[in-house]
Amino acid sequence: MRTTLRLGRIAGIPVGLHWSVVGIVLLVAIGLAARQLPLLFPGYPVAAYVVAGIGAALLLVLSLLVHELAHAVVARRNGVEVAGITLWLLGGVAQLRGEARDAGAEARIAAVGPAASALLALLFAALASATAQFGAAALVAIVFVYLALLNAALAVFNLLPAAPLDGGRVLRAALWRWRGDRWRAAIWSAYAGRVLGLLLIGLGIAQLLFRGTNGLWWVLLGWFITAVAGAEAQQARVGAALADVPVRDVMRHPVPSAGPDTTLHGFLRDGLPTDPPPPAVVLLDPDGHVTGLLTPNRIRSVPEDARGTARLGELAVPADQLIRVRVEESLATVVPRLGDQRHAWILVEDAAGPVGVLTTSDVAEAVADRRLGAATFPIRVEGTGRRPSTPPSGWWFPGQRPPD
């Protein structure tokens, strides 16, 4: 779910809206302002109903954001990278890159979302009671009641034990702790999600046949749950197959280092190893911190007449765009960090610093080696044929050495 409009950062976490979030605002605002509120509380000006409907819709979107922020904050505190939060038609998505380190962390990350929604339900209920006691307009009180009910329903629905709902994550954590196999637990939780999704689709079709168009919402929700649960089961199968493949067995190495202020011409002339040519070059500042990764394609993109002034730091993949993993990790822990990146560079490090690199294609080839097939890998990568044990002669530039 890609962000259409970026709203900024909250607690350091990027927050954005997908264009479909307009659907939530319109459904709630129009439903309240044009139908429910005038029917239940007649006699108010049209403008009052419109303001109440829009206010309720915006507060609902804010409630969804609080729910997802709770997931994101607890995930970060448990060592899971958070790429951002996106709100959309069916709620929100906290985009996590990585997996919880243990079942306890998994349960905490999952359970905090429904807990936040339950607290919001209590808060809105208290506001409804307070506005009624202090003589505020009934229209204001009923908006708070409506929000309290929606947040309570959101908390309860999300606790259903089926992925990708929060209850499915709690189920996965429980099965993981019970059986000791995180990937098998994820597959079982995803199967439960597919069953729930099919049930919701069936319920929606029945409503369409006998009760009108309200069933479309259940069909859409059921389709979404079924699709995401299927994708999670697929990723879990990949994780299970790669769980015993260490990163050190797949990475490309060695990776030499250079300074970011070095000119490209000087580096190619004096600093680039050629036997064998490296898969990439790590750029380090004077304090030894990684500032970027120089790749062959980025060098090839620089015209010959610009190499004397181009600096390596200007050409490299910035450090904040790299996925960084430990050399002792399993390859299974790398896959969730890729997100939807099709051409990611992964920097492999040990206690002393960088020791190798991986690309998305390397991970895809490891999946193929396990005979899972390309369709099983959650990211489609073009051209994942077997690479040679050493790069070809023109890996960095034709002729290996540039002219003086």
By annotation, the residues acting in catalysis are 68
Sequence-distant contacts of 213-222: CB under 8 A, at least 24 apart: 220/90, 221/90, 222/196, 222/197, 222/198
Distance CA 169, CA 75 (A): 13
Report the distance separating Cα 314 and Cα 18, nearest Å.
32
Distance CA 111, CA 127 (A): 25
* Residue in the block written with tokens 């080696």: 369
In this structure, the number of other CB atoms found within 10 A of the CB of residue 212 comes to 9
Tokens (6 digits) for 287 = 């304090």
Please state, as a whole number, how many other Cβ atoms lie within 10 Å of the Cβ of residue 207: 17
- Residue 219 has a CB neighbour count (10 Å cut-off) of 17
Type of residue numbered 308: G
In b/e form, how buried is each residue of 224-242, taking b as 16+ CB within 10 angstroms?
A: bbbebbbebbbbbbbbbbb
Q: Residue 160: exposed, middle, or buried by beta-carbon count in 10 A (0-12, 13-18, 19+)? A: middle
